[in-house]
Amino acid sequence: MIELRPISILDKQMPECIALRVAPGQEDFVASNVISLAEAYELNIEREKTGKGNIVAPFAAYQDGEMVGFSMYAYVPDCADNPDDEPYADDQPHYYIWRLFVDKNHQGKGLGREILLKITEIIKTKPNGEAEFCFSSYDPDNIASRATFASCGYEEDGRIIGSEAVCKISI
């Protein structure tokens, strides 16, 4: 059973988290955890200072006490403050699963699906504010991600933003 635990760049488990790696050939599908944690830290500090911007929540994924993956969502309360996020929700507050991956040593066991179900469960409680949808996106060539999102109830909405296929679920 997967457990998600909040993690930050200041967490003592941070070195273990940034040591996680995707399998060879998957490097272009997801950013490294060091980048993800740094982005989360920077955006959360900016929000703390200004009261504007996204709220970012990174999580380490554990199975039987062992860190096996990582996921991160953002809550976008006001797209006017975040114009890059507007294409996803037509200027409406929304959640966005920004990162999700399973370490190369733990792939092929259904853990990606479990992590996605857990983070979606958290998001459905609307911990940071109201929203109708949770969005995510993936490289259209990433067949495993497409199948994982579909198996968890996410539906493609037909858009490609940048080079990413967009999917969403009602929350």
How many domains does the chain fold into? 1
Q: What is the pLDDT of residue 99?
A: 92
Domain that holds residue 132: 2-170
Asked if pLDDT for residue 141 goes beyond 90, the answer is no
Q: What does the pLDDT look like over 61-112, one tens digit per residue?
A: 999 999 999 999 999 998 766 555 556 666 789 999 999 989 999 998 999 9
* CATH code of 113's domain: 3.40.630.30
Q: What is the pLDDT of residue 83?
A: 57
Whether the CB-CB separation of 144 and 111 falls below 8 Å is answered with no
pTM higher than 0.95, yes or no? no
Region for residue 149 given its phi and psi (left: phi exceeds 0; alpha: psi -120 to 50; beta: otherwise):
alpha
Q: What does the pLDDT look like over 29-44, one tens digit per residue?
A: 778 888 999 999 999 9
Computed over every residue of the chain, the mean pLDDT equals 90
